[in-house]
Structure 1
Amino acid sequence: MTNHIDRQTTLADQVTLTGIGVHSGKPATITLLPADAGTGIVFQRTDKDDAAEIPALWNRVTQTSLQTVLGDPSDNGLSTVEHLMAALAGMGIDNLIVEIDGPEMPIMDGSSAAFVDAIDQVGVKYLDRGRRYLKIKKAVRVDNGSAWCELKPYEGTRFEITIDFDTPLIGRQTFASDLTPLVFREDLSRARTFGYVKDVEQLWKMGFALGSSLENSVAIAEDKVLNPEGTRWPDEFARHKALDAVGDLSLAGLPILGLYRSYKGGHKMNNAILAKLFEDKSAYEIVEAPAFREIGHAENAGLAAAAFGPDVS
């Protein structure tokens, strides 16, 4: 069953958030601006005179090792887009211009909560255009050693994310649920990024994670959580991996009607499954909200070409 709201959305007004970049440790400000139907999610660097707009699409991803990066951050690109993208997808926002004053998104508290609050602050505007969906028609799968992920046909949008760490503090955890705005808000949006202190110390030496702190990450040392407040859920780790998956898969360009499953996955595999999906045109189809099927085919073809063009990254 598709989302009960069949019209495309944007925000009712613009809203600005300020924080720091988790890797640079430098201040970062973004402004979310309402956009017309058919725009999608588009990023724009305001610190660059000649910055081109970067659409939030899988084939613009250039790095997935520590976060999801669109374009070249040393030029006009930007990094750590996944938590905002998760909030927009989870809360059903289809069209938005995201202005950002540097190469890295603000990390906020390490979750999507601040972005959900910003959406709530200004409200959602429904547009006079039908929402379009990417419907999975047959299973596609990516394997990488013991890790794997797959997209399968499903009547709705569902995530089943399993992680398996060799520390007893985390171990094997699974988050499984259909995705709705209510589920995202209550069960995923506040799940924070996490990491081992020993890994962060190594990243510091390499010039990364300079803004990482107990304010924006769950820190693990010797099988204990260092944050005074502990975890927000016993399985916050799996929930955050699910949050990341929601954000990364939103780079398909349209909401996915299907089931996404992963085991020991992450940003790299989340991107790899989209690349694998779009290699096989028989594995998916683009469907329109029933009430709006009178939209012209020429327009659909143009949008499809823009969203699902060849990988040029």
Structure 2
Amino acid sequence: MIRQKTLKAVVKATGVGLHGGKRVEMSLRPAAPDTGIVFRRVDIDPPVEMPADPYAVVDTRMCSGLQNGTAKIGTVEHVMSALAGLGVDNCYVDVDAPEIPILDGSASPFVYLLQSVGLELQDAPKRFLRVKKMVEYVEGDKFVRLHPHDGFKLSFAIHFNHPAIDGTATSVTIDFARQSYTRDVARARTFGFVQDLEVLIGMGLAQGGSLENAIVLDEYRVLNHDGLRYEDEFVKHKVLDAIGDLYLCGHPLLAHYEANKAGHALNNQILRVLLEDREAWEIVTFEDEAQAPESLRGQIRSQLAFA
């Protein structure tokens, strides 16, 4: 049986919020089976909980943000991506500010935190959301589609008309039957443009951004002295974001995600389109290896290490 996972113990980190620029203390805590991923604003008395839920997403300007009443938590996509990439089903994410810390702008620090504390199996079957028919959301020349697929695969294309970006691969397909989240996706950083900074700050965004937590570009080149981590880091970061945004549905997907020029808003919309078509999906579990897609069979074998 493919079983649910949580953390073995509490792990903490401190950083700044990318958009608010404020210091944030974050704790990742174990949670019981079937809890899901639950964000908590612990600086509010009593603490306010915001479970991962596409219908709780209220702000998609440069991030995915959740809201419950007047309480908000922004920039949840990178930690959600890491939790999805490592197969964590149940976790409390406590923060004392209205944003998750940006750390280095990728999911790699969150992966490190989770690996450093360790994961444990729980006595409950892991529940997957399997896409049964194609659904799509189109907005002009932008689109997102979810296709039936026996595993989890993402195909993404970006178009920025910028020499530094156009000089890299602008499309990528990541198939987790053959590729590794930690090796091939997690280290890709968010990116932004110097010429947009004044406008973003005026909107209350990017106030904590720096060369330490983002790839920064002027009109012609990357300004970071250490260059890129992947030859296709720009498009891979879009894949990283999509993994986190899609995990807000509450379950790992069995699907092929296909996107062109998409972002957080379209990722949220495709989840709503999917969930509102009850014939387009089902919840499945896997009792033995023979039932599971090839990309999941390694999860069954790896569970022996937790026994």
Q: Which residue of 2 is the match for residue 268 of structure 1?
A: 265
Q: CA RMSD in A?
A: 1.6
Give 1:91-130 correspondences, 5 Å limit.
91-130=86-125
Q: Does 1:10 align with 2:10?
A: no
Alignment partner, residue 59 of structure 1: 55
Alignment of 1:269-284 (within 5 A): 269-284=266-281
Corresponding residue of 1:255: 252
1:220-269 Cα shifts (integer Å, max 9, x gaps): 10220001111112210000000000000001111100100100011011
Runs of 4+, deviation exceeding 6 Å: none
Deviation at 1:45, TM superposition (A): 0.8
Residue 203 of structure 1 is matched in structure 2 by 200
**Which piece of structure 1 moves more, 210-219 or 182-191?**
182-191
Could you say what secondary structure the match of 2:282 adopts? strand
In structure 2, C-alpha distance between the alignment counterparts of 1:99 and 1:69, rounded to whole Å: 15
Deviation at 1:182, TM superposition (A): 6.3
| Distance across 1 between alignment mates of 2:179 and 2:103 | 21
1:33 is aligned to 29
Change in Cα spacing, 1:181 to 1:41, as seen in structure 2 (3 Å) is farther
1:186, distance to aligned residue in structure 2 (A):
0.4
Percent of pairs with identical residues: 43
Asked if 1:174 corresponds to 2:176, the answer is no
Q: Is the 8 A contact 2:164 2:221 kept in 1?
A: yes
**After the TM superposition, which residues 64-79 of structure 1 pair with which residues of structure 2 at under 5 Å, given as runs?**
64-71=60-67, 75-79=70-74
Alignment partner, residue 297 of structure 1: none
| Aligned residues of 1:21 and 1:27 also touching (Cα < 8 A) | yes
C-alpha deviations, 1:182-236, integer Å up to 9, x for none?
A: 6110011110000111112221233321110000010010220001111112210
Whole-Å Cα distance in 2 between the matches of residues 181 and 217 of structure 1?
Answer: 28
| Cα pair 2:38 2:49 within 8 Å, conserved | yes
Which stretch of structure 1 is more off in the superposition, 82-91 or 225-234? 225-234
1:291 shift after superposition: 4.8
Q: Structure 2 vs 1, CA of residues 34 and 182 (structure 1 numbering), >3 Å: closer, same or farther?
A: farther
2:19 & 2:70 partners in 1: Cα distance? 17
What secondary structure, in the 3-state scheme, does the structure 1 residue paired with 2:255 have? strand
For residues 251-307 of structure 1, the C-alpha deviation after alignment (integer angstroms, 9 at most, x for no partner) is 111110010010001101100100100111000011112259xxxxxxxxxxxxxxx
1:156 aligns with 2:151: yes
Does 1:145 find its partner at 2:168?
Answer: no
2:32 alignment partner AA: D
- List runs of 5+ in structure 2 lacking aligned partners: 290-307
Q: Which residue of 2 aligns with 1:21?
A: 17
Of 221, 224, 244, the match for 1:224: 221
The whole-number CA distance in structure 1 between the counterparts of 2:199 and 2:224 is 20
1:43 matched to 2:34? The reply is no
Distance 1:208 1:144 in 2: 24
Please say if 1:237 is aligned against 2:234. Answer: yes
- Distance in 1 between residues matched to 2:212 and 2:19, nearest whole Å: 14
On the 8 A contact 1:90/1:181 being kept in 2, the answer is no
Whether contact under 8 Å (1:69, 1:78) holds in the other structure is: yes
Aligned residues: 287
Deviation at 1:168, TM superposition (A): 2.3
* 1:49 CA drift (Å): 0.3
The TM-score with structure 1 as length reference comes to: 0.88
Q: Which amino acid aligns with 1:137?
A: K
